[in-house]
Amino acid sequence: MTRPAPPTSPVPPEVPPVLRLLPAGSYAGRSRMLLLRSATASRRTWLAFVSGFFEPVFYLIAMGQGLGSLVGELPGPGGEVISYAAFIAPGLLAASAMNGAVFDSTYNVFFKLKYARLYDAMLATPLGPVDIALGEIGWALIRGGLYATGFLSVMAAFGLLTSPWALLALPAALVVAFAFAAIGMAATSFMRSWQDFDLVTLAVLPMFLFATTFYPLSVYPRWLQLVVECLPLFHAVELMRGLTTGAVHLGLLGHLAYFLVMIALGIAVAARRLNVLLLK
């Protein structure tokens, strides 16, 4: 008479190599559950969710059409002459991806972490700190991607997409949103109170104004050009401007690599900080 086979325990999910550098036991492979939870919660606040789409559109109309009528045409990144609206639109596209990702991964995450205590309840389930980090970063990525998709549609309606390379602008915007979401959540883990979020505005607003969104890098003195070239949004603007105008070159891969480093750094810091904050 054969004995019944002993019950088998569930096979743990395979951990991606990049996550093996993070604390053991903090990843259960169920970060998608946070995406479903965020999508469900957003149904009640859909108006606030979509309101961020309109800000870059207002800038495009006011600056591109209004101020653009005074500025006229100017050289594009490939040396061709383009309208002022076509020049600033890629910068506003990059800012759309940045804003959607940053504000969702900072303000919303801070409320859930410090006040709603949502993540403490999640740790009573099989979810771990890495799942929480990836889930929240993923939702911020989706929000930034939706903003970028909407603004790309506006650019197409205004006739500002003049190159087939513009088809790659959306995947590039998703990479940008992913990077800002990861860094935003990592920064939020160090926030102590709502007053600390003045630092978020202090970082985002100067980047939006000075990272060649509205004028070329050549208007700055050389020392200031070096400072601007270190800003994440500068690399996003250059990437979007190259793709939407057709000025594609190998230098765009350098801008892309910049964001891949941001993603890896942001995920690693956010996961380790959540591990400290939630499991201490």
User: What is the value of pTM for the model shown?
Assistant: 0.84
HSE, CB side, 13 Å, CA atoms: give it for residue 188.
Answer: 27
Give the SS3 label for residue 54.
Answer: helix
- Answer for the pair 61, 89: CB distance below 8 angstroms, yes or no: no
Rounded Cα distance, 179 and 181, in Å: 5
- Give the pLDDT score at 48: 67
- Give the pLDDT score at 12: 47
- Give the pLDDT score at 35: 78
- Give the pLDDT score at 265: 93
- Give the pLDDT score at 7: 47
- Answer for the pair 236, 176: CB distance below 8 angstroms, yes or no: yes
- Answer for the pair 160, 170: CB distance below 8 angstroms, yes or no: no
DSSP notation for 120-187: HHHTTTT--HHHHHHHHHHHHHHHHHHHHHHHHHHHHHTT---SGGGGGHHHHHHHHHHHHHHHHHHH
* Residues 143-171 pLDDT 10s: 888 888 888 988 888 888 878 888 899 99
Rounded Cα distance, 47 and 62, in Å: 23
- Give the pLDDT score at 194: 86
- Answer for the pair 248, 93: CB distance below 8 angstroms, yes or no: no
- Give the pLDDT score at 221: 92
- Give the pLDDT score at 30: 66
Rounded Cα distance, 239 and 235, in Å: 6
Pairing mode, if any, of strands 73-75 and 81-83?
antiparallel
* Strand partners of residue 73: 83
- pLDDT beneath 70: ranges in the chain: 1-30, 45-49, 280
Mean pLDDT of the chain: 82
- Answer for the pair 112, 123: CB distance below 8 angstroms, yes or no: no
- Give the pLDDT score at 33: 77
- Give the pLDDT score at 22: 52
* Residues 48-82 pLDDT 10s: 667 777 888 888 888 877 787 778 777 777 777 88
